[in-house]
């Protein structure tokens, strides 16, 4: 096979992409991503064996986060950018090696590859299938995918000046452990739960970073129509990029619209002062191929969620920044102070037509933990009175598969005395439905991005306290989570660490779960797949 990747939900036949990624990445990019992960494992091996303090290696800490983030599904398709990052990591590794004095290093910490051909040759022997034992491979990859999601959260927090070096130290520990052939399945299961523990820390760090800078999200109606001004569409997840773009577009006559996972930016008080912050355009990430055609203006990708454009005209309007990248698209890098110059994006917008209207109206969100806890008395009374029978956590990712229509049907068929708690782009399957409210409480409470899934955990733990329960699983909360990429993996591991059981995960269970590992998750944690909407609702409501 020319490549092997099974990290996302849409992997071919739920077994693995072996010729080209369903996401659109080719063999070269897939192999380079494998080698970049291998190089990062090598640095981790060196840090652990050399007992290097994370406080002494800030550049390595930051570049490890960036490297992991670059390999998340739909983040970076640019082979040259990934090659450059591999070279940077090897250089950092060698500088660190000279200082650390570690011995007995793994091949990942000593290999050399300075040309594209050498990198591709090396990559062929160090990918996912290099681990022969299927169960060990499954657990190692689940940990690595969790670390990728964790790195995304940590990088967003770092962009806002927040850092927890214990998270960085754990990333080194866990990556080094995936090179250790003495660790068996039981050791790796324990490390998987520890990954969830540090996932909670990373999510809490990002929550603190976002709210301390931009305020606590508040209930907000977001416009989904358009105005008549030229405009820029910003996609991905990074709020610092949005802030800089809004600052640079003030008074220019150019509007800014959010796309996909940037929708929840509208909920933060700090962004409401910008008159040109016009609304949200379109739906979930996978619909962008058509929606970018009708938007007309430039598109700025701040993180993952890129779908390879079919049209050269659209490709010329795409800009990338941060860990994202696509060949042929302009990439914007920050200066030494972290500032980015978006003037090329703004200049392009001024020369292009205003976006076409594809829908009208508003959608409501802003139900992060601070806002929901402010309504706690109302929520508790609704539960005690029987007005609310159950909460359904329907967080996670959206995707292209027709089977994801299940989540729309599930939301539509839920009893009217239930409330949906959501975060992530999974919400686009039902956040525009008219599901009504219960005593003034909307039946869909959107906490924000997948990055904001921490809010749902905080809400659950607070409700456990309010109701005086000793187990979060005794709450009237059911979990029916959709997943697609690696940030959803760390959310799942975080929930398992917090003791949440009986999570339904779909539309398919991960292809990277071996039968034995899947059996452990089913028997120990009650993980289940999804069936029909009617049957699953009956199970949940029983």
- DSSP per-residue string spanning 284-299: SGGGHHHHHHHH-S-E
Where does 160-214 have alpha helices with state H? 165-177, 185-214
With beta carbons less than 8 A apart as the criterion, state whether 503 and 528 touch: yes
Q: Do domains 12-213 and 220-350 have the same CATH topology?
A: no
Cα torsion for 520, 525, 529, 532, to the nearest 10°?
Answer: 140
The CATH T-level fold of domain 220-350 is Rossmann fold (3.40.50)
The CATH T-level fold of domain 12-213 is Substrate Binding Domain Of Dnak; Chain:A; Domain 2 (1.20.1270)
With beta carbons less than 8 A apart as the criterion, state whether 448 and 365 touch: yes
Q: Taking Cα atoms as reference points, which of 111, 39, 42, 125 lies closest to residue 82?
A: 39
311 contacts: CB under 8 Å, gap ≥ 6: 293
Where does 442-514 have alpha helices with state H? 453-466, 486-497
CA angle 470, 473, 479 (to 5 degrees): 155
Positive/negative CA dihedral, 529, 495, 287, 14 = negative
Q: What pLDDT, on the 0 to 100 scale, is given for residue 102?
A: 86
With beta carbons less than 8 A apart as the criterion, state whether 332 and 103 touch: no
Is CATH 3.30.470.20 what the domain over 366-541 is classified as, yes or no?
no
pLDDT by position in tens, the chain (length 542): 799 999 999 999 999 999 999 999 999 999 999 999 999 999 999 999 999 999 999 999 999 999 999 999 999 999 999 999 999 999 999 999 988 888 999 999 999 999 999 999 999 999 999 999 999 999 999 999 999 999 999 999 999 999 999 999 999 999 999 999 999 999 999 999 999 999 999 999 999 999 999 999 999 999 999 999 999 999 999 999 999 999 999 999 999 999 999 999 999 999 999 999 999 999 999 999 999 999 999 999 999 999 999 999 999 999 999 999 999 999 999 999 999 999 999 999 999 999 999 999 999 999 999 999 998 889 889 999 999 999 999 999 999 999 999 999 999 999 999 999 999 999 999 999 999 999 999 999 999 998 898 999 999 999 999 899 999 999 999 999 999 999 999 999 999 999 999 999 999 999 999 999 999 999 999 999 999 999 999 999 99
For the chain, the structural domain boundaries read 12-213, 220-350, 366-541
């Amino acid at each position: 096979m020319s490549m092997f990747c099974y990290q996302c939900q849409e992997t071919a036949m739920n077994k693995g992409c072996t010729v080209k990624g369903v996401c659109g990445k080719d063999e070269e990019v897939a192999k380079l991503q494998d080698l970049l992960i291998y190089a990062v494992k090598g640095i981790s091996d060196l840090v652990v064996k050399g007992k290097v303090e994370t406080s002494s290696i800030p550049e390595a800490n930051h570049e490890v986060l960036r490297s992991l983030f670059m390999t998340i599904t739909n983040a970076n398709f640019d082979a040259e950018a990934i090659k450059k990052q591999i070279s940077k990591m090897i250089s950092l590794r060698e500088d660190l090696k000279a200082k650390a004095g570690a011995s007995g290093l793994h091949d990942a910490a000593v290999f050399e590859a300075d040309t594209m051909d050498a990198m591709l040759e090396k990559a062929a022997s160090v990918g996912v299938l290099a681990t022969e034992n299927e169960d060990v491979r499954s657990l190692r990859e689940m940990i690595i995918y969790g670390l990728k999601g964790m790195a995304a959260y940590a990088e967003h927090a770092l962009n806002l000046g927040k850092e927890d070096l214990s998270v960085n130290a754990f990333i080194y520990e866990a990556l080094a452990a995936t090179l250790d052939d003495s660790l068996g399945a039981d050791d790796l299961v324990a490390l998987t739960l520890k990954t969830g523990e540090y996932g909670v820390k990373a999510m809490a760090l990002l929550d603190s970073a976002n709210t301390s800078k931009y305020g606590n999200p508040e209930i907000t109606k977001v416009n989904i129509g358009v105005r008549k001004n030229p405009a820029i569409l910003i996609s991905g997840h990074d709020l610092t990029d949005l802030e800089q773009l809004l600052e640079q577009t003030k008074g220019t006559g150019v509007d800014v619209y959010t796309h996909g996972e940037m929708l929840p930016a509208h909920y933060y008080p700090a962004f409401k002062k910008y008159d040109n912050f016009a609304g949200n355009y379109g739906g979930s990430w996978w619909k962008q191929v058509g929606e970018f055609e009708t938007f007309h203006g430039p598109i700025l990708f701040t993180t993952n969620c890129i779908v390879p454009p079919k049209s050269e005209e659209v490709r010329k309007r795409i800009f990338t920044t941060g860990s994202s990248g696509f060949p042929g698209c302009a990439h914007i890098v920050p200066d030494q102070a972290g500032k980015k110059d978006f003037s090329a994006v703004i200049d392009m917008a001024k020369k292009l037509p205003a976006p076409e209207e594809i829908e009208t109206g508003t959608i409501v969100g802003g139900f992060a933990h601070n806002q929901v806890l402010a309504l706690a008395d109302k929520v508790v009374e609704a539960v005690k009175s029987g007005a609310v029978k159950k909460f359904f956590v329907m967080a996670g990712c959206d995707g292209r598969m027709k089977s994801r229509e299940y989540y729309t049907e599930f939301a539509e068929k839920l009893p009217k005395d239930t409330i949906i708690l959501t975060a992530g782009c999974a919400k686009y399957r039902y956040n525009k439905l008219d599901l009504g409210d219960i005593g003034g409480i909307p039946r869909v409470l959107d906490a924000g991005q997948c990055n904001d899934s921490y809010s749902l955990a905080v809400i659950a733990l607070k409700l456990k306290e309010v109701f005086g329960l000793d187990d979060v699983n005794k709450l009237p909360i059911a979990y029916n989570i959709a997943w697609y990429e690696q940030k959803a993996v760390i959310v799942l591991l975080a929930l398992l660490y917090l003791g949440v059981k009986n999570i339904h995960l779909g539309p398919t269970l991960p292809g990277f779960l071996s039968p034995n590992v899947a059996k452990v998750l089913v028997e120990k944690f009650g993980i289940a797949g999804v069936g029909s909407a009617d049957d699953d609702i009956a199970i949940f409501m029983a």
